[in-house]
Amino acid sequence: MNAAAIQRLRRTLAGDQAAYGLWVTLESASITEMAVALGLDWVVIDAEHGHLDWRDIVAHVRAAVRSETVTLVRIAELNPALIKRALDIGADGVVVPWVETADQLRQAVQFAHYPPAGTRGIGAERATAWGQAIAEHIAEAGENVLVVPIIETVHAGRNIKQMLCVDGVEIFFFGPADYSSTAGFAGQWEGPGVAEQINQIKDTIRAAGKHCAVVAARDEDLDNRHRQGFRLLGLGMDSGLLISGLRAKLSRLNRDRGLSSSLRAGIAQQPKPQSNVSPLRRPPERMRPDRPEKMNEPGSGPRSVLSPGVMFECLVGSHNAARNLTTGIVTFQPGAKLPYHVHEEFSESITVLSGTAEIEVEGRVYCLGAFDNVTIPRGLAHAAANASADRPCILHVAMPTDDPGRQLVTRHYPRLVMDQDSSGPTGAERVTRLASAAQYEAGPGTSFIDYFNSDLMPGIEMSGGYARFSEGGRLPAHFHDFDESITIVEGTAVCMVEGRRYLQSGYSTALQPRGRVHYFVNEQPEPMGMVWVYGGPKPERIVVDECCATAAGNPWKAQEVLSS
């Protein structure tokens, strides 16, 4: 046991300072040795998941001997034999998974302490210098051994006040992914509402004078967790850091294809939008907008007949001063077709809003339903048709230009009907199907899907996707370094723009110019859905203080002149 390192960690936490660590899952003890040499405050050696055996674990523990790094072992389950063995080989403490009640936590503490305080047996192993320092180790272990439960279920969160009454516990780890799973959102790091629940539990723990630990999901999450009050902060998992480093190199070579569960290179992973984690006090002056927002109701935009039975209504475009962005609604009457054409200078996104569409791209035929999307790079010939002979089909289209145009194509392409499960890249186009698309949370009560951006489709000039908001779901106050179009395709949205409140529904489309501070919220019990498109290739959202979205805190109030 490294009592000096444990005391150093406690002093750091008592001063409300961050203690940084690493989650170790790979067998090479060189990983822990590197962490120690780099001055990390702690490591957790994971013996619950993965393939580490006790020979691997003791090698990691040895790598931290005589250092200032605390070494913890995450055991597989609440079990006296596992706790005893981890401590006997010299670990400074144990991380205990799936602790849900005060009684379970009390047991863990007892298993980690020698009598009379607990039930740990005395062994002649590394911790006691192979039996040569038994009395010394028993004395230091009683005061220093760390028992760290993981709060990773909704049930555990509900019992946190009782668990805080258990003596001998000073640190609580959080497992957001497992917590999300027990909340009904398996596969999500923090499902809808989970971030708020974890923050409430964290606040309760801190109010009791104890400390909270979590592994950051990504770099920006590290800053966010520190701001929230987490003080034991994991920089990541060894395997994850290795993979992210490799993928960063591959991305520079245009060869990043991600991983699938088959351990084969798969399609590019859907990235979460980048945003600043610590909100800016206000947008920088250089972002001052030069145009007001525009709320565009269906029927208000210019219309044009693209083909017999095919009508396009432009809702965002040059007519309302949009820059590098055109979006609108295309209505196909039953059986109507739009012939093959090409956009030589820009790409196009097509999202089905209702009905069933057949989209052909150089002969490849995709049958798409509601909220499925196909995105077509510039220069690729394509056509569209309503697959129904008796019902209209409605599409949302977006193009990164304020001067759209098309050239008809007379070339014949042999038809190849693509499988209904086809998604991801096929030709140069990208198909995203709602049923199988990766989702992420961009704000409490939200579920986002990326259709297209420069990570998913290198060289594309815009980014966009679909989002669904449950009751109370909302985004933080933010702005962009480009124009944005937001079309409400389900339910009713409240759009707040610097204190100005708008209600939108039924394909109403907002144009948010560069620099305008805004957010969307669903105040209704029914879900609200939107199709959003940015006039920039990366889905970057710059978060600002909430007051910037109010009339009193409007950052552009001075010198602001709004035209009609």
Tens of pLDDT, residue by residue over 10-20, are: 999 999 999 99
State yes or no: is 412 an active-site residue. Answer: no
Q: How far apart are CA 413 and CA 363, in angstroms?
A: 5
Cβ contact 172:213 at 8 Å: yes
Question: Which residue spans of the chain are classified as CATH 3.20.20.60?
Answer: 3-244
Q: What pLDDT, in 10s, does the model give residues 446-504? A: 999 999 998 888 889 999 999 999 999 999 999 999 999 999 999 999 999 999 999 99
Residue 342 — φ and ψ, nearest 5°? -145, 145
For 58, residues 6+ apart whose C-beta sits below 8 A from its C-beta are: 89, 90, 126
Cβ contact 95:145 at 8 Å: no
209-233: buried (b, 16+ CB within 10 Å) or exposed (e) per residue? eebbbbbbbeeebbebbbebebbbb
* CATH architecture, domain defined by 294-549: Sandwich (2.60)
Q: How far, CA to CA in Å, does 303 sit from each of 316, 328, 407?
A: 12, 10, 19
The label of the residue with tokens 């120690």 reads 36
Provide the pLDDT confidence category of residue 263 given band limits of 50, 70 and 90: low
Q: Which of 473, 466, 560, 555 is nearest to 518 (CA)?
A: 555
For 14, residues 6+ apart whose C-beta sits below 8 A from its C-beta are: none
Report how far Cα 58 is from the mean position of its chain's Cα atoms: 35
Provide the pLDDT confidence category of residue 255 given band limits of 50, 70 and 90: low
Mean per-residue pLDDT for 61-86? 96
Residue 273 — φ and ψ, nearest 5°? -65, 140
Question: Which residue spans of the chain are classified as CATH 2.60.120.10?
Answer: 294-549
Residue 27 — φ and ψ, nearest 5°? -75, -25
Hey, what are 263's tokens? 């351990």
Q: How far, CA to CA in Å, does 120 sit from each of 101, 102, 114?
A: 21, 19, 5
Q: What pLDDT, in 10s, does the model give residues 88-103? A: 999 999 999 999 999 9
The conformational region for residue 389 under phi > 0 = left, psi -120 to 50 = alpha, else beta, is alpha
Cβ contact 160:204 at 8 Å: yes
What are the residues facing 542 on neighbouring strands?
A: 479
Q: What pLDDT, in 10s, does the model give residues 290-338? A: 999 999 999 999 999 999 999 999 999 999 999 999 999 999 999 999 9
Secondary structure class of 516 (helix, strand, coil): coil
**Which helix (H) or strand (E) covers residue 494, if one does?**
strand 492-497
Q: Which of 263, 222, 202 is nearest to 22 (CA)?
A: 222
Residue 421 — φ and ψ, nearest 5°? -90, 0
On the question of pLDDT at 558 being above 80, the answer is no
Hey, what are 557's tokens? 């109030």
The conformational region for residue 182 under phi > 0 = left, psi -120 to 50 = alpha, else beta, is alpha
The label of the residue with tokens 């920006």 reads 220
Q: From the candidates 49, 60, 137, 226, which is the catalytic residue?
A: 49
Secondary structure class of 361 (helix, strand, coil): strand
Q: Is omega for the bond preceding 192 within 30 degrees of 0, making it cis?
A: no
Domain 3-244 has CATH 3.20.20.60: yes
Of 191-200, 456-465, 466-475, 553-562, the poorest mean pLDDT is in 553-562
Q: Read off the pTM.
A: 0.55
